[in-house]
A = this chain, B = another copy of it.
Amino acid sequence: MLRHALARSSLSRGASGRLGHYYSRRQASQLAEPKQPEVVTSEIPGPQSKAALARLSKLQDTRAAVFACDYSKSVGNYIVDADGNQLLDLYCQIASIPVGYNNEALLKAAQSPEVASTLINRPALGVYPPKDWASVLEKAYMRVRPKGLDMVFTTAHGSDANELAYKAAFMHYARTKRGSAGFSAQEETSVMDNVPPGAPDVAILSFTSGFHGRTFGALSTTRSKAIHKLDIPAFRWPRAPFPQLRYPLDKFSEENSVEEQRCIAETERILDENEMPIAAVIVEPVQSEGGDRHASAHFFQELRRITHQRGVLLIVDEVQTGCGATGTFWAHEQWRLDTPPDMVTFSKKMQTAGFYHTQKMVPEQPLRNFNTWLGDPSRALVTSAIVDEVLAQDLVEQARVTGAYLKSHLVPLAIRYFRVFNSVRGEGTFLAFDCTSPELRAELLQLMRMEGVNMGGSGDVAVRFRPMLTLTKAHVNVFLTRFESVLNKLYQKHWPR
């Protein structure tokens, strides 16, 4: 199973880092992306990874760790582990790397005095904002803002981005209901005991299989897997059915349309009949952790229509889909909505998190949707450099084109190797397929790793592509070669002729 690449890459020659020392800036700029993967250990994690993880396990839970990384040697689309294995990375820190490891433009930004200043003088952005914070927001977030949303609430990660959006929704709901009346004495008293009317029973409606994070409010809307939720108290918020479509979507358009209509009708019924009033609906453009489940633009148009009709807010969770991988900067652009979503949340490739909104979502009183740091300006400056790269190099278009190329090869492979995988789906490089069993998926992922390609799963049987936007057809060709090799190994093992 071990594969020794014939040629040692320029990376291996160029970076002679000593242990405990990272690259200098000069060294980093000399790093070149490998031409192909190289696996030098007989298993992954190899001995150095295992030693690092064993040491770490005394301090943190390492049972989910795949291997320990040498980020100083990772370049572009290739991640290098502690043993020197260099893997084409199609998972990218759970979709968090947008423009390549050790990207030179990002390195330059990270080494700027502005970043150093915000790292050592951590501001409480809502109380003592840096004088140029507006221009950082412009460059990092507003240049790529979703149409119709002209403000941005900044925070730390996807889970609290969603929670802050929920809080905005609940405050908006209460204001709409309350009208010009102030808080009642009963509200002010009861809220300190966590009971209505001050702490009201109001809901966020989410969809079956959706994932919106793991803090308590977010987790109450997450419906991905039991293991994500077991033993944790949850708000008794309802869930609506998300369409269970058949792929390829165009082939099954008729029955898929019926399924989507069923889900919209049921969602309408819940909005109208749910005992607890619903302030907002949250939905992912692609249910990512839930197994890369898709719905059509029409479904989302209908969802916008039925929420708008009822004055229920629509929150689009673009934590995983945002920042270009689907072939548009925000996946929901592809829905071509008449009325924009009320809030769009983001994180992952955007490096910090937050939600876009309009003035309507700002509470009447200050300090209500608030916290000490309100995000991280150091990370925002890196985001600004990322957006520079994405726009200057037209990387969203590159993701669209490269993804189409990858998909065009996956579709026939799924026919040829139907015993291993099916249901190729997605847009841009935000692609996925289903394996025919969870066990086969685990085997495939491990074999791919030993072939030098790092991939990740989602849901019960899906394998998801979450490459960087810098993925090219050349990388796809490297992947396809290794993938076919693994598919043949699986066939030889499980279905020998």
Contact = CB atoms under 8 A, between A and B. Distances in A.
A351 interface: yes
B371 A157 contact: yes
A119 to B, nearest CB: 4
A66 B233 contact: no
A366 interface: yes
Given A187-B226, A365-B227, A151 B60 contact: yes
Contacts of A61: 126, 362-363, 366, 369
Given A115-B119, A121-B74, A192 B223 contact: yes
A202 to B, nearest CB: 6
Interface string A44-66: 00001100110110111111111
A483 interface: no
B370 A214 contact: yes
Contacts of A175: 231
Contact of A126 (B64, B107, B192, B239): B64
Interface size class of A (residues with CB under 8 A): 35 or more
A69 B130 contact: yes
Query: Which of A61, A114, A152, A214 has the most chain B CB atoms inside 10 A of its CB?
Result: A61
B192 A226 contact: yes
A153 B62 CA distance: 11
A242 interface: no
Interface in A132-160: 132-134, 137-138, 142, 150-154, 156-160
A399 B389 CA distance: 46
Nearest to A367: B64
Interface string A154-195: 101111100100110011011100000001000111011111
A25 B114 CA distance: 11
Interface stretch (A95-103, A323-331, A338-346, A413-421): A95-103
A496 interface: no
A49 to B, nearest CB: 7
Nearest to A93: B124
B235 A65 contact: no
A232 interface: yes
Nearest to A319: B372
Given A113-B22, A128-B79, A214-B371, A198 B230 contact: yes
Contacts of A93: 121-124, 127-128, 372
A214 to B, nearest CB: 5
Interface of A: 20, 22-25, 28, 48-49, 52-53, 55-56, 58-72, 74, 79, 82, 93-94, 96-97, 101-103, 106-107, 109-134, 137-138, 142, 150-154, 156-160, 163, 166-167, 170-171, 173-175, 183, 187-189, 191-195, 198-203, 208, 213-218, 220, 223, 226-237, 239, 347-348, 351, 362-363, 365-373, 376, 378-379, 382
A-B residue pairs, 3 tightest by C-beta: A216-B217, A63-B366, A174-B231
